[in-house]
Chains A and B, each alone.
Chain A
């Protein structure tokens, strides 16, 4: 048992949270992680509005009676408008979901803070995902319940200040009094133990959960993540104003080439469009589109059940921490 402020706040067994993942964090995976003692993630952007998200939340609740977290990433998106975000927040407030992971624009600055208040009033614990201390301080002042400190090694959209987990987590922990959850490079028990040592109250992993039996992807996806190394992701997108980290593949190589010769969004978008989603995840074609995984792929060597993964992580963390405690003389 590793008990932290996060496990107590959320009433969960293990200080391990799943991060939002488009086309992956569906109710069955979410519930499997929560049933295993962590905090499973339901990613809202996969749904088209209030009713469909509510239906998904109810599906999670049919599969587990444990707490879970809903991701909403407030990005200036091509696909989602403010009405859709409002619908997501309404769904989460009405369903009184246990927690939310907010990325991008802080929720207190969205629609005059109306939804921030609505969700807090509904008892929803709010965590903001940030890549800088400045944003972390803002979250604390706004009344968030915790922050997720995302190092540049994470997949998805790390902040372009490019600060890594070893520096960001302790820097955040020494500035904030609300709990800090480490994201970026987190994958096993030694990651968890190191994050706790750096001042975190828990870890957030996303990429690692792809290689669980409960994540519904083609086996080729998991085989590819086991095969690929830590140096096979790249940062892209700085020329179009939104940095991302993705697996090196043919599409991303083309994106990098377009960016280096000053090509624009019009040229890049067709290569990274979400329309490739099923082709990638369900058919296992890893050479097209954008596959937003982190450097942690270098440390993924197998596919296990969520329960086995979480138990193993906590057991390993306990072992290394108790091994080192009291050895200073």
Chain B
């Protein structure tokens, strides 16, 4: 059994500095995926808002993951302000009741929930897209911070800052360990993150193309076939941009944004969801790859195969080691 120690592996008690982040677009980051990542030596987060309609389903999911692994895992709590406080309270209760090993927060400042989060007494990582949010999270007491660049799928933030810049920059700005995501899928990505000063690589899209991920086979097919320059950055006009695989729906949305601006696209999204729920995001589970929104990152264009999570992690670790050894063997530098 191998390992690569960083402050983040020590924080979570895991072997490798590899994080499967919480993803919600219909059902994506479930117990099967997070357990598989944990069993392979990283840590996976189940996104609680996937079960926003019924918190008991989250409880069932927690029970399920306890059967699937005895390794660390976590729950992502997406701090959307429109969600009722009672739902958050229920989620925090479940985390306590089942002694969930770790928590990831994201989307908004954790300040309103600070007491509850800290009261859990478990490792806490907060995910941000902007440097100032990362600095704030560290000040508020997060044990670690994840920063993601604009290349990531889903919600990469409105500032459009690339991983190559915000990764090393947040490392400079905070004392807590930093995980870096956006654009990574392999061992090269892991060692690039370590080179930037990051202490874990953060990946979403790579784990979507795994056998254990619950998303529809047609979406996985689309993922392994997409090119690296085939994502769109939609809904910038409404201030909450999403990166998604280019398809008829993202092109339509961009067209409406250009012609009719924020009001036009808001109206369109409300009235026409392509026959799908969650504004088109349920396509991740229904497999409607043209009519839905598939929030995957640019790096989908580097992923060629759906694999078991264990193999994905093993290959990342082997390649990371190999890349460094090769650089070293070529006498890139004097030790």
Contact = CB atoms under 8 A, between A and B. Distances in A.
B189 interface: yes
Contacts of B256: none
A265 B166 CA distance: 33
A104 B104 CA distance: 44
A322 B335 contact: yes
A186 interface: yes
A296 B167 CA distance: 11
B5 A327 contact: yes
Interface stretch (B59-67, B69-77, B190-198): B190-198
Nearest to B329: A325
A165 interface: yes
A166 B301 CA distance: 12
Contacts of A186: 164
B331 A191 contact: no
A22 interface: no
A4 B333 CA distance: 10
B324 A324 contact: yes
B52 interface: no
Interface string A286-299: 00000000011011
B122 interface: no
B298 A230 contact: no
A34 B131 CA distance: 34
Interface residues of A, number: 53
B332 A3 contact: yes
A164 B149 contact: yes
A165 B184 CA distance: 11
B183 interface: yes
Contacts of B111: none
B164 A151 contact: yes
Contacts of B302: 167, 170-171, 174
A174 B320 CA distance: 15
A198 B188 CA distance: 5
Interface string A307-329: 00000000001101110111111
B165 A185 contact: yes
B299 interface: yes
B159 A197 contact: no
Contacts of B2: 328-329
B154 to A, nearest CB: 15
Contacts of B186: 170
A257 B189 CA distance: 38
A184 B229 contact: no
A166 B164 contact: yes
Contact of A230 (B5, B131, B317, B323): B131
A168 interface: yes
B169 interface: yes
Nearest to B183: A166
Contacts of B167: 194
Contact of B229 (A163, A174, A196, A321): A163
Nearest to B229: A161
A185 B162 contact: yes
A326 B322 CA distance: 9
A230 B147 CA distance: 14
Interface string A180-213: 0000111110110111111100000000000000
A318 B324 CA distance: 12
B282 interface: no
A298 B192 CA distance: 19
B333 A1 contact: yes
A305 interface: no
A3 B192 CA distance: 18
A163 B331 CA distance: 31
A229 B183 CA distance: 22
B327 interface: yes
Given A168-B228, A171-B302, A321-B195, A298 B335 contact: no
B182 A190 contact: no
B211 interface: no
B169 A299 contact: yes
Given A191-B168, A295-B162, A196 B332 contact: yes
Interface string B114-145: 00000000000000001100000000000000
Contact of A327 (B4, B160, B229): B4
A231 B333 contact: no
Interface centre among B3, B159, B164 (most CB of A within 10 A): B164
A81 B324 CA distance: 47
A325 B228 contact: no
A2 interface: yes
Nearest to B261: A260
A178 interface: no
A132 B171 CA distance: 29
A272 interface: no
A321 B161 contact: no
Contact of A320 (B130, B169, B194, B317): B194
A285 interface: no
A170 B149 contact: no
Given A3-B331, A298-B169, A325-B325, A166 B189 contact: yes
28 contacts: A1-B334, A2-B332, A153-B164, A162-B229, A164-B298, A167-B301, A167-B302, A170-B186, A187-B168, A188-B168, A190-B197, A191-B168, A196-B332, A197-B191, A199-B188, A229-B131, A230-B131, A230-B165, A295-B162, A298-B131, A317-B195, A318-B334, A321-B195, A321-B327, A321-B333, A324-B191, A324-B194, A328-B4
Interface of A: 1-4, 132-133, 151-153, 161-168, 170-171, 174, 184-188, 190-191, 193-199, 229-231, 235, 295-296, 298-299, 317-318, 320-322, 324-329
Interface of B: 2-5, 130-131, 149-151, 159-169, 171-172, 182-184, 186, 188-189, 191-197, 228-229, 233, 298-299, 301-302, 317, 320-321, 323-325, 327-328, 330-335
